[in-house]
């Protein structure tokens, strides 16, 4: 990749000379473009679709469209390399005869975004299928693999709350880059616990929409999603060792993470403030920005985590000075393929707080065995 495309805002940071600067610039462009597609789809959701009944098609269009656009930008940034991408969506439903109308709809949407934002020539349906299929990599400990969740927090997307476009880069087993596009997240600190619905309702206003980015060894940053090339702020976790002032975050959906378990852990750790419940990896962004001090996730035992649900958020939190582990205290290992096999759940917090929360989680777990 050529190295002369660092955005102007990076000049004062370690990013412009960083090892993967051009890859990070491409990742930011990819996430920004995909976020624009998602915003367009979300703004067109009808009232019945927002009510999140049975029709999953609007969000499905956005999932596929975002995945294809990210692959398009990354492939174009370095056409000499065959892209290896571990991504959530696959083309099976689209290439089936029953997927023809959906594929046409997605291709039309992608082409309208490409024409408007990039002045690019239209893609064919076959091009779109090919781009989506680039996401079928198995990842692993060697070489470079991009890791993508085109929309994380689909329930939040449909419910007009929070969601994120999440892109990481795995180099020889380590996540070295992470970018989160959070179109509905206010640029100022978030403190309420309405799951982001109030913020999402203001999504057309200028102070909503954030891009979080991190480069291993060069820090974590946030920028307005709409002007990330001209504005950037370094961020760090809030090292709040007084548990009385600490706030923890968890899934909005109790099906995704056990709210009663986290309440017991919080109590055990001396955390008394109510939780901030939000969808998606937006929570990792909020932790990195210091809006809240602790993130806990305890899915049902049968649930198997995937690497795209945590890769980008994890490196952003670590570069902001935080610690991310499973419930046994082990660092998350993204090098084992598409799955993220871990023990029990995830705890992320500044180092001083992390130990106390981990000990509390282990105590609560022990008392329930």
Ligand X SMILES: Nc1ncnc2c1ncn2[C@@H]1O[C@H](COP(=O)(O)O)[C@@H](O)[C@H]1OP(=O)(O)O
Binding site for ligand X (CB under 6 A): 149, 152-154, 251, 253, 255-257, 279-280, 299, 303, 309
Tokens of 171: 């180099």
Q: What is the DSSP letter of 339?
A: B
Does 152 count as an annotated binding residue?
A: yes
Q: What is the DSSP string of 216-252?
A: TTTEEEEEEGGGTTT--EE--------GGG--EEEES
326 is catalytic: no
Q: What is the DSSP letter of 141?
A: S
Choice between 6 and 276, CB closer to ligand X:
276
Residue with tokens 């929409």, as numbered in its chain: 209
Does 309 count as an annotated binding residue?
A: yes
- Provide the binding-site residues for Mg ion, judged by CB under 5 A: 88, 149, 151-152, 309
228 binds, among Mg ion, ligand X, none (CB under 5 to 8 A by kind): none
154 is catalytic: yes
φ, ψ of residue 179 in degrees (nearest 5): -135, 130
Choice between 49 and 149, CB closer to Mg ion:
149
Choice between 11 and 56, CB closer to ligand X:
56
42 binds, among ligand X, Mg ion, none (CB under 5 to 8 A by kind): none
Q: Is 91 helix (H, G, I), strand (E, B) or coil?
A: coil
**Helix (H), strand (E) at residue 130:** helix 125-133
Candidates 154, 279, 325, 326; catalytic one: 154
Does 149 count as an annotated binding residue?
A: yes
Shortest spacing between CB 312 and Mg ion, in angstroms: 11
**Helix (H), strand (E) at residue 208:** strand 208-215
Shortest spacing between CB 309 and ligand X, in angstroms: 4
Return the axis-axis angle of helices 100-118 and 57-77, rounded to nearest 10°. Answer: 50
Give Cα 246 distance to the centre of its chain: 23
Does 307 count as an annotated binding residue?
A: no
Choice between 21 and 68, CB closer to Mg ion:
68
Shortest spacing between CB 167 and ligand X, in angstroms: 13
Candidates 60, 63, 107, 279; catalytic one: 63
Shortest spacing between CB 161 and Mg ion, in angstroms: 14
291 binds, among Mg ion, ligand X, none (CB under 5 to 8 A by kind): none
Residue with tokens 């105590």, as numbered in its chain: 363
| Closest C-alpha among 192, 221, 226 to residue 208 | 226
Residue with tokens 């705890």, as numbered in its chain: 347
Q: Which residues are annotated as a binding site?
A: 88, 149, 151-152, 309
Give the catalytic positions in this structure.
63, 154
Q: Which residues are annotated as a binding site for Mg(2+)?
A: 88, 149, 151-152, 309
């Amino acid at each position: 990749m050529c190295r002369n495309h660092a955005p102007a805002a990076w000049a004062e940071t370690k990013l412009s000379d960083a090892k993967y600067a051009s890859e990070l610039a491409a990742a930011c462009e990819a996430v920004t473009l995909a976020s624009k597609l998602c915003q367009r789809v979300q703004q067109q959701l009808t009232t019945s679709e927002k009510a999140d009944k049975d029709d999953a098609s609007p969000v499905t269009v956005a999932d596929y469209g975002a995945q294809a656009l990210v692959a398009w930008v990354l492939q174009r940034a370095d056409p000499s390399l065959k892209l290896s991408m571990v991504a959530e969506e696959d083309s099976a439903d689209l290439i089936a005869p029953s997927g023809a109308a959906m594929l046409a709809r997605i291709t039309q949407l992608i082409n309208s975004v490409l024409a408007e934002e990039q002045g690019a020539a239209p893609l064919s349906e076959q091009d779109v299928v090919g781009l989506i299929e680039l996401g079928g990599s198995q990842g692993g400990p060697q070489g470079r693999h991009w890791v993508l969740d085109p929309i994380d927090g689909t329930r939040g997307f449909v419910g007009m709350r929070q969601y994120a476009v999440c892109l990481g880069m795995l180099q020889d087993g380590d996540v070295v880059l992470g970018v989160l596009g959070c179109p509905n997240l206010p640029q100022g600190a978030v403190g309420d616990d309405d799951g982001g619905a109030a913020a999402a309702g203001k999504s057309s206003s200028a102070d909503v929409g954030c891009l979080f980015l991190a480069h291993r060894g060069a820090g974590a940053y946030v920028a307005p999603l709409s002007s990330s090339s001209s504005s950037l702020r370094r961020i760090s976790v809030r090292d709040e060792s007084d548990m009385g002032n600490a706030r923890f975050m968890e899934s909005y959906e109790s099906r995704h993470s056990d709210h009663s378990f986290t309440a017991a852990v919080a109590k055990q750790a001396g955390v008394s403030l109510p939780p901030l419940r939000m969808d998606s990896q937006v929570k990792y962004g909020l932790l990195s920005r210091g809006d809240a001090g602790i993130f806990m996730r305890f899915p049902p035992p049968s649930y198997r985590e995937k690497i795209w649900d945590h890769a980008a958020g994890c490196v952003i939190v670590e570069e902001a000075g935080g610690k991310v582990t499973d419930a046994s205290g082990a660092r998350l290992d993204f090098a084992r393929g598409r799955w993220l096999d871990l023990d029990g759940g995830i705890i992320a917090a500044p180092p001083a707080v992390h130990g106390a929360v981990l000990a509390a989680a282990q105590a609560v777990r022990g008392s329930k065995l």
